[in-house]
Amino acid sequence: MPSILLISGSPSVVSRSGSLLEYARRHFIAAGLTAHIAGLYDFPARELILGKYDSPAFDTLKDLLADASAVVVATPIYKAAYSGGLKTLLDILPQSALRGKTVLPLATGGSPGHQLAIDYALKPVLSALGATDLLQGVFASDHQLKVGTDGLPEFSDADLRTRFDNAVAQLTGIVTAPSPAI
């Protein structure tokens, strides 16, 4: 069964980017896929900050990533770039960790002016990790998205919800498509 790894670059357990991941995870599970969320909060801060590449704390993440058919990376945007915590987590991964995987980048930020951070900051680092199938990212600004009491996103912008649902459906279709005969 195909699996999808969802990586949260938010330092908070409850966040807008985390709510998007939970919404996507539920969609993937409803489609019969296996989906796991891994966030910065799942790892010891000391291991992350010191870049302990060989720490057993990251073994589960590396195994989930190796088994995943696709990856969704969500991050808040700070100062026109993805979170420093996400960068630290991505640095822990092997150089070719995303090779052969379809990757969907998601970002949240204070204003629409930060939406270019997906293309100019996040996608290059994902490419450096071997991602060759990078889907069109989805950005949500603070006024378009809130976190509901259930931890799921509350979309105040119908266009954003449509773009997000389409991106998740596209990734689901790619992962569930039959492999071509050789």
DSSP string, 63-98: HHHHH-SEEEEEEEEETTEE-HHHHHHHHHS-TTTT
What is the average pLDDT across 39-51? 94
pTM comes to 0.95
Q: Does 181 map to a domain? A: no
Contact between residue 49 and residue 57 where contact means Cβ atoms under 8 Å apart = no
Please report whether residue 13 resides in a domain: yes
Over its C-alpha atoms, the chain yields an Rg (Å, rounded) of 15
The pairing of strands 138-141 and 102-109 is parallel
- Quote the pLDDT of residue 112: 85
Q: Which residue has the tokens 């979309």?
A: 155
Angle between helices 158-176 and 16-30 (to 10 degrees): 40
Structure confidence at residue 127 (pLDDT): 96
CATH of the domain at 45: 3.40.50.360
DSSP 8-state assignment for residue 136:
P
Q: For the residues 152-169, what does the mean pLDDT come to?
A: 96
Answer yes or no: is pLDDT of 123 > 80.
yes
- Per the structure, the complete domain to which residue 97 belongs is given by 3-176
Q: Is residue 66 part of a domain?
A: yes
What is the model's pLDDT at position 37? 97
Asked if the model's pLDDT at residue 33 lies above 70, the reply is yes
Q: Say whether 14 sits in a helix, a strand or coil.
A: coil
Residue 163 lies inside a defined structural domain of this protein: yes
Average pLDDT over residues 2-6: 96
Query: What is the number of domains present in the chain?
Result: 1
Q: Considering the domain boundaries, does residue 112 fall inside one?
A: yes
- pLDDT reading at 181 higher than 90: no
Flag whether 130 is in a domain.
yes
For residue 155, what are the contacts with CB-CB under 8 A and spacing of at least 6?
144, 145, 161, 164
Q: Is pLDDT larger for residue 8 or for residue 113? A: 8
